[in-house]
Structure 1
Amino acid sequence: MLLRWSKALLSRKKTWAVAVFLLTSLVLLDLAFPLPPPGRDSPYAMVVLARDGSPLRAFPDKDHIWRHAISLDEVSPYYVQALTGYEDRAFWWHPGVNPLSMLRAGWQWLHNGRIISGGSTITMQVARIIDPTPHTVTGKLKQVARALQLEAHYSKKEILTLYLNYAPMGGVLEGVEAASRAYLGKPANRLTHAEAAMLAVLPQMPSVLRPDRYPQRAQQARDKLIRRMADRWSKDIVADALSEPVVAQTVREPLLAPLLALRMKQQARRERKSAGNTMDTGQQNVIRTTVDPASQQVVETLLADRIRLLPPHVSMAAMVMDNQTFEVLAYAGSADFSDRKRFSDVDMVRASRSPGSTLKPFLYAFALDEGLIHSESLLSDTPQSFSGYQPANFFQNFNGPVSVSEALVKSLNVPAVEVLEQLGSDNFVSMLRRGGLKLDFPRGAAPNLSVILGGAGARLEDMVGAYSSLARKGMAGVPRMTPAAPRKEQRMMSEGAAFIVRDILETGGPVARAVEGNGSYRGIAYKTGTSFGFRDAWAIGVSNRYSIGVWVGRPDGTPNPGFFGANVAAPLLVDIFTALPDGRNAGPNPPPASVSQEKICWPLGTRASEQTDASLCPVQRTAWLLNGTAPPSFADRLKTATPVFSYLVDTRTGLRVAPECASHASETRQAARWPSSLGPWLDAGLRKTALPPAWAPECATIYKADDNIQIVGLNDGEILHRASNKDVPKARLEIRGSQADISWMVNGHIIANKTASQPQVIEFPQAGRYDITAFDTFGRYDRISVSMQASP
């Protein structure tokens, strides 16, 4: 008995020794021949997804493989059922190798002299994916060893996930998600039983069973799998699946929002490089964006329609942002990504370009907040010099007296510079930066008055974020392009200023709305802009739901004569708003408590209720006031004088007199002083009611004649005649009483600027009346009216 126990103990020790030896050997072999990394991704292989998970653009790896990383929970359970039920029914319990399947495959090989079935499990297929082996006995043994390693290192779910991501699916496709998107146009979590069966059988012979090329072969293989699932799926499910036809779309590379996708890829590479991560696997190569595929398709379609009508080399860019979430719903960095002639690879959403007049809404909003203006403050749209800077309007015309509302709606340049001079260029740029809009200046350059007309660079995405403040009670948002991006906002302007500026852009302001009625809301508040030399055309606007920006031009900066914001960018902007859901849902929005509406007076700019003398309020306008403030009009830039002045009038003749020359009784009257530069632009009716009357003849020798200038060469009221066979009549006019620079205007249009010593030749090509005005830089002017008649 003792001998038997000794032998049993010795036998047990040998068994344990063998077990330890085998275990040690396996550990050493595992260390000597480690598993290759399960993921074959590189930093260059990734897919960028829209907000619904659909691919925007796939970036293949060095082998040009398209792969969409996916987890087990994101795949339809029908696919997992079909895969395990057909490929490997013992998957959940075997150790990586199914002994019965291997014995069956070996017997078939010995009996037939060739491989009939491989006996491979899903784990073995994954092993071959991560470590390819030849179709030989040696290769199969290596595959078995790798499968055992996989089972030792990974869970069943992890192994199955590797298969889902890397199984060959035909051509350049790998993984069930890439195949489902490419062949069926849907994510793998929405597969039907028949579709799941088709994709489950595809890796067996991916080149032969491609449904886009060989639908009949694919259906035969699919149906074989479906019939085998009869013990797991109900009869009705099997019948329905067998009756479903195989329909697959042609495999095409996804290409929606391509420049945004490229931007996201480059950003991810930079972040990974900075983090020291040079190899990424699985979900790390998936980038989710906020892009809405439907909105993106709308924008790209509209751009494609427009770009065909534009010259070669011209491009377009557009961006749509949700005002509540700051999510970028559509992003088109160029108009046609396939047209290299149009610089399709240049992303103009983030390019710094001259914004033209698109900064003007911010200028007037800041001036409102600073208490400098109200919506109807009197401004001078006349030729002016601001310390040597002489801005002109886009169409080279002037409008004379205008309100803030009119200046913004008509995008007048001189009034904007006048307001900026009061606010301060440095202050304006700082306020923009504080609100999140940073302008780009040339190296060493400082802000000056030209900044309001496009004298600095801005980016479309920054402009869209800044404009959102008009729809968000003054709070500007930073566009978010990924769900993980933080939600950032800054105070750009007060809620009241945002309301007033938006109302002006949308309806023309309280004066225009009073004429057109409350139903005049168009649903969009937008502003256009054109940079110097027609290089950039802009249109940026807001509704309650969206902020949208459009840019048109040549990325290389070449001018496009005739291309300006109003005729090429604004129509596209309006179409985008109209095409998007609730795009033109804007209001009417009630004014906040800080905004009130009152009558104000021109030229003083103050409340009409404060004037007891009607002569001091010759023009009344309805204005939006911020915080109850009605600031006076800006001081005269040409003369230092009080806003209100007194004068004497002869009670008998009604003419103006002075105490030393009055021959009859006189009375004192008051008048509000108009800016000197506006004198030539006041019409006859306003001049009669708002200005003092002409001097009495007896005072002609003593009143200040040096305050006037005179046009000589034609007399006021003179009639010219033109013979039908003669040349166009001309007149040589000169100026007396001034040595300053003279501006000549005919029928309201500036025709020349020159010194007083230079004569001006005026032509009269057609019959009719000609109003000729000359004014100098001190606000002095003279006007004559002549008529030209054709001789009988």
Structure 2
Amino acid sequence: MTLKKTLLIALSTPLFMVMTAIVWHTSNPLPPMYPGGPATLITASNNKTLRSFGDKQGVHRYHVTPKEVNPFYLQALLHYEDRWFYQHYGVNPFSLLRAAGQWIKHGRVISGGSTITMQVARLIDPHSRTVGGKLHQIARAIQLEWYFSKEEILTFYLNLAPFGGNVEGIAAASHRYFAKAPHQLTKNEAALLVVLPQKPSRYRPDRYPTKAKAMRNKVLSRLYQGALLNSAQYHLLIKERVNLHIGKQPLLAPLLARYLKQRYPNRHKLQTTIDYSLQKRLSTLLHRTSQRLPHKASAALVILHNPSAQIRAYQGSVNFLDASRFAHVDMVRATRSPGSTLKPFIYAQALDLGLIHSKSLLSDIPADFDGYKPQNLNGTFSGPVSAQHALQKSLNVPAIQLLNRITPMRFEHTLAQAGIHLTHKQANLSVGLGGTGTQLLTLAKLYRSLASDGHVAPLNVLKDTVNSSASVQILSPQSSWITFKMLSAQSAPDRVVPSVRRQIAWKTGTSYGYRDFWAVGVSRDYTVAAWVGRPDASPMLGYLGATQAAPLMFDAFDLLPPDQQLLTKPASVTNTLICWPSGLALEHIPNNQCESQHQALTINHMTPPSMDIYGDFTTNMSWPEKLAHWLNRKQINYGSTTSHNTALSVPDYSIAITSLRSGQHYYRSQLSTLTLTSSHPTQVNWFINHEPITKPQIELSQYLGETTVSACINAHCDQQTIYIHP
């Protein structure tokens, strides 16, 4: 061969190899790094696991970076698997030559000679155990080194390495076998997880502890020889047995996790704002609640931290594992009728429009608003009531009286400016009484504004996500503060005294047909919203928001730490002495025309006159015309019997069952009928086991065992539990 031909071959051979490599690379692009798509881990704010989702093949993987793994594990991994990882370009020729020599000598594969990069190549693009397959793996490894840094390739290995069953990656293995995060691994645990990916089905410590210990000690021996362990450490570690801590991970906030997985399908990890400890205690509370709910009934609850607008706890169903209660339906986001829970924002808007102050005279009387005739829950009317009293007692006609003046379109437009959209065909007065649809999370977001100067802010549920949209002010600081005070002035239902006393503005709601029961409360730092009902929308007769959802809401408040922020009264809010029936300030009213006096919270000392039933201001000092006619028919004289120095008396709706007490036992052989009496003489609705009865008596022959008796008036109830025997 001439020198010229030799030089030509010498030059063309590398060129041919380069061209071949380019052609191969072009026709064989890198496959996806996670062939089955991402496996997603949902964590609480402290990184504790709430719920994990496998990839498309059902593989569970908790995505981590090298910084999140115990440094000793990384040292052991590189020393045992690929000590020249940071020096080679994907392939270690010395390792390959050693592996080839062993293959020739023994006639079978003793060691593969694979680097960590080559192992990643095999994991993303499996190949046959042949010479051709090995060459394919080498080409992929070089391709990986071309596109990615060493840190990225190491990260791929940490998350793709198999650890037995459907577990991949060091983080998932650490949680699976030792119930801890990978940065918490001990030296023995780290050594075991270094060798496990070599033969995960044969070295699994939960199935083959003896083999697993032997392979772990092999790694420890190699580390001792490499001076990563001293003699004392080595001899102490090899004596330890394999200590596993395998426990089933509890599902916390599972429906929130499902929602986030669906919304962010390509994310490996989602760290939420959920308080792990609070969520765990809330889950226990809802589980206890399920034991006293009727068949098919569920409950949901969400807790917001007002200053940060963060969701701190989220329970979409009463018990995620109870299929009989439609547990997989997320009632935090389900659209349902809100009952009376929108009423506070009708009053707040009326305050901002200068229509009322806190003690404005409103009319709770029969009324016809162009064919719409609202009724109260108990079917009765109270006549003249203050705005505060009407809101606290959730009277329907006064709320519609105000909404009619504001107009439903304007009311909804104000809410819509902050992204609060109600679900119905057309704006109408029935919206004020629940004739629309909304979500529990939306109500919580809305009520938070009462402790946030009237601002509605986007809610945060992910720690690394910053909402680009700013908060929107739908109420003034003055009206939100006055509404908060009006709602917080009412006493909570009878219950155990909470460990943390706090001021809570709260409102309940019961939807038409007894299908949804709501309670939303706001303290200075927290908003708690609760829903109780049947997800299939079947009715629960005899239940009320005040008796079902409100106790659950207050129990949730008991789980929270003390409030820290202050709600400062705006300077323009003042106490003003006003007169009825005019509604004006005392200083503007002749003494002989002030039939009763009230201390009202006013904005800028404004005291708008009283309205008639349809929302028009009265032009004289007398009672609104239709209210006066109602008083005359009822033969009630409020003016002559009321002192100028006291507030107008209002009906007393407190009630207590007087004929029996909880825990009493009755025998059908000795008694056939038990008459029911209460502290309130009339207008009482009676329920046995939450079913209404027409007469105030129990026919003992119809009941046996534990029996619940309820007496209700105007959404206030007393409940006693007795026991009936044969």
Q: Where on the TM-score scale, by shorter chain, does this alignment land: which range?
A: 0.7 to 0.9
Q: Which residue of 2 aligns with 1:496?
A: 478
Structure 1 residues 151, 494: closer, same or farther in 2, change over 3 A?
A: closer
Partner SS, residue 334 of structure 1: coil
Shift of 1:84: 0.4
Structure 1 residues 217, 618: closer, same or farther in 2, change over 3 A?
A: farther
Q: Which structure 1 residue ranges, 5 or more long, are not aligned?
A: 1-5, 270-279, 513-519, 646-669, 692-745, 752-762, 766-792
The correspondence for 2:252, drawn from 244, 253, 256, is: 256
Give yes or no for the alignment of 1:383 onto 2:366: yes
Q: Which deviates the most, 403-412 or 333-342?
A: 333-342
Q: Deviations over 1:351-375 (max 9, x none)?
A: 2211001011101111111111111
Structure 1 residues 448, 127: closer, same or farther in 2, change over 3 A?
A: closer
Shift of 1:475: 0.6
Shift of 1:747: 7.1
Shift of 1:407: 1.3
Q: Deviations over 1:690-712 (max 9, x none)?
A: 89xxxxxxxxxxxxxxxxxxxxx
Structure 1 residues 749, 122: closer, same or farther in 2, change over 3 A?
A: closer
Count matched residues: 643
Structure 1 residues 197, 360: closer, same or farther in 2, change over 3 A?
A: same
Q: Which residue of 2 aligns with 1:783?
A: none
Which residue identity does 1:471 align to in structure 2?
A: A
Aligned partners of 1:391 and 1:580: how far apart in 2?
38
Q: Which residue of 1 aligns with 2:611?
A: 634
The correspondence for 2:196, drawn from 184, 202, 207, is: 202
Aligned partners of 1:244 and 1:323: how far apart in 2?
50
Q: Which residue of 1 aligns with 2:14?
A: 19
The correspondence for 1:371, drawn from 348, 351, 354, is: 354
Q: Which deviates the most, 422-431 or 26-35?
A: 26-35
- Tell me, yes or no, if the aligned pair for 2:488 and 2:506 is still in contact at 8 Å: yes
Counting only pairs closer than 5 Å after superposition, residues 157-176 of structure 1 correspond to structure 2 as 157-176=151-170
The correspondence for 1:42, drawn from 12, 37, 40, is: 37
Aligned partners of 1:180 and 1:458: how far apart in 2?
42
The correspondence for 1:437, drawn from 386, 400, 420, is: 420
Partner SS, residue 574 of structure 2: strand
Aligned partners of 1:23 and 1:671: how far apart in 2?
96
Partner SS, residue 352 of structure 1: coil
Q: Which residue of 1 aligns with 2:569?
A: 591
Shift of 1:467: 0.8
Partner SS, residue 513 of structure 2: helix
Aligned partners of 2:621 and 2:148: how far apart in 1?
90
Aligned partners of 2:626 and 2:56: how far apart in 1?
77
Shift of 1:633: 1.7
Aligned partners of 1:493 and 1:56: how far apart in 2?
36
Q: Which residue of 2 aligns with 1:547?
A: 527
Shift of 1:491: 0.8
Aligned partners of 1:618 and 1:23: how far apart in 2?
102
Partner SS, residue 327 of structure 2: coil
Aligned partners of 2:367 and 2:526: how far apart in 1?
38
- Tell me, yes or no, if the aligned pair for 2:404 and 2:614 is still in contact at 8 Å: no
Aligned partners of 1:126 and 1:303: how far apart in 2?
45
Aligned partners of 1:678 and 1:222: how far apart in 2?
90
Structure 1 residues 460, 145: closer, same or farther in 2, change over 3 A?
A: same
Q: Deviations over 1:641-697 (max 9, x none)?
A: 86347xxxxxxxxxxxxxxxxxxxxxxxx9999733234668678544589xxxxxx
Which residue identity does 2:541 align to in structure 1?
A: P
Shift of 1:465: 0.9
The correspondence for 2:451, drawn from 453, 463, 471, is: 471
Shift of 1:55: 3.9
- Tell me, yes or no, if the aligned pair for 1:333 and 1:349 is still in contact at 8 Å: yes
Counting only pairs closer than 5 Å after superposition, residues 556-705 of structure 1 correspond to structure 2 as 556-582=536-562, 589-613=567-591, 615-635=592-612, 643-644=620-621, 675-679=628-632, 687-688=640-641
Shift of 1:597: 0.9
Q: Which residue of 2 aligns with 1:773?
A: none
Q: Which residue of 2 aligns with 1:455?
A: 435
Between the two proteins, what is the percent identity of the paired residues? 42
Shift of 1:625: 0.9
Give yes or no for the alignment of 1:484 onto 2:465: yes
Structure 1 residues 64, 685: closer, same or farther in 2, change over 3 A?
A: closer
- Tell me, yes or no, if the aligned pair for 2:444 and 2:528 is still in contact at 8 Å: yes
Aligned partners of 2:413 and 2:624: how far apart in 1?
39
Shift of 1:147: 3.2
Aligned partners of 2:527 and 2:617: how far apart in 1?
44
Give yes or no for the alignment of 1:336 onto 2:316: no
Aligned partners of 2:28 and 2:612: how far apart in 1?
87
Structure 1 residues 150, 477: closer, same or farther in 2, change over 3 A?
A: closer
Which residue identity does 2:631 align to in structure 1?
A: L
Q: Deviations over 1:536-555 (max 9, x none)?
A: 01111212222221111112
Q: Which residue of 1 aligns with 2:383?
A: 400
- Tell me, yes or no, if the aligned pair for 1:594 and 1:627 is still in contact at 8 Å: yes
- Tell me, yes or no, if the aligned pair for 1:466 and 1:492 is still in contact at 8 Å: no
Shift of 1:311: 1.8
Shift of 1:39: 2.7
Which residue identity does 1:384 align to in structure 2?
A: A
Q: Which residue of 2 aligns with 1:702?
A: none
Give yes or no for the alignment of 1:528 onto 2:522: no
Shift of 1:591: 1.2
Aligned partners of 1:349 and 1:750: how far apart in 2?
33
Aligned partners of 2:322 and 2:508: how far apart in 1?
27
Which residue identity does 1:184 align to in structure 2?
A: F
Q: Deviations over 1:567-598 (max 9, x none)?
A: 1111111121221333x5675x3311121112
Structure 1 residues 469, 304: closer, same or farther in 2, change over 3 A?
A: same
Give yes or no for the alignment of 1:317 onto 2:300: yes
- Tell me, yes or no, if the aligned pair for 2:363 and 2:613 is still in contact at 8 Å: no
Partner SS, residue 593 of structure 1: coil
Give yes or no for the alignment of 1:266 onto 2:262: yes
Structure 1 residues 200, 599: closer, same or farther in 2, change over 3 A?
A: same
Aligned partners of 1:82 and 1:24: how far apart in 2?
39
Structure 1 residues 199, 11: closer, same or farther in 2, change over 3 A?
A: same
- Tell me, yes or no, if the aligned pair for 1:597 and 1:623 is still in contact at 8 Å: yes
Q: Deviations over 1:258-311 (max 9, x none)?
A: 222222233235xxxxxxxxxx6xxx4444433333333233222122112212
Aligned partners of 2:381 and 2:264: how far apart in 1?
52
Aligned partners of 1:485 and 1:209: how far apart in 2?
44
Shift of 1:34: 4.4
Shift of 1:455: 0.9
Q: Which residue of 2 aligns with 1:705?
A: none
Q: Which residue of 2 aligns with 1:730?
A: none
Aligned partners of 2:36 and 2:145: how far apart in 1?
22
Q: Which residue of 2 aligns with 1:178?
A: 172
Q: Which residue of 1 aligns with 2:98?
A: 104
Give yes or no for the alignment of 1:353 onto 2:330: no
- Tell me, yes or no, if the aligned pair for 1:528 and 1:540 is still in contact at 8 Å: yes
Q: Deviations over 1:141-199 (max 9, x none)?
A: 54344434433444332322221111101110111122223333333334343332232
Aligned partners of 1:639 and 1:172: how far apart in 2?
70
Q: Which structure 2 residue ranges, 5 or more long, are not aligned?
A: 493-499, 645-679, 686-694, 698-726
Shift of 1:454: 0.4
Q: Which residue of 1 aligns with 2:487?
A: 505
Shift of 1:335: 2.0
Shift of 1:47: 3.6
- Tell me, yes or no, if the aligned pair for 1:406 and 1:508 is still in contact at 8 Å: no
Aligned partners of 1:400 and 1:436: how far apart in 2?
36
Which residue identity does 1:101 align to in structure 2?
A: S
The correspondence for 1:295, drawn from 278, 281, 306, is: 278
Shift of 1:532: 0.6
Which residue identity does 1:259 align to in structure 2?
A: L
CA RMSD of aligned residues (A): 3.6
Q: Which deviates the most, 681-690 or 336-345?
A: 681-690
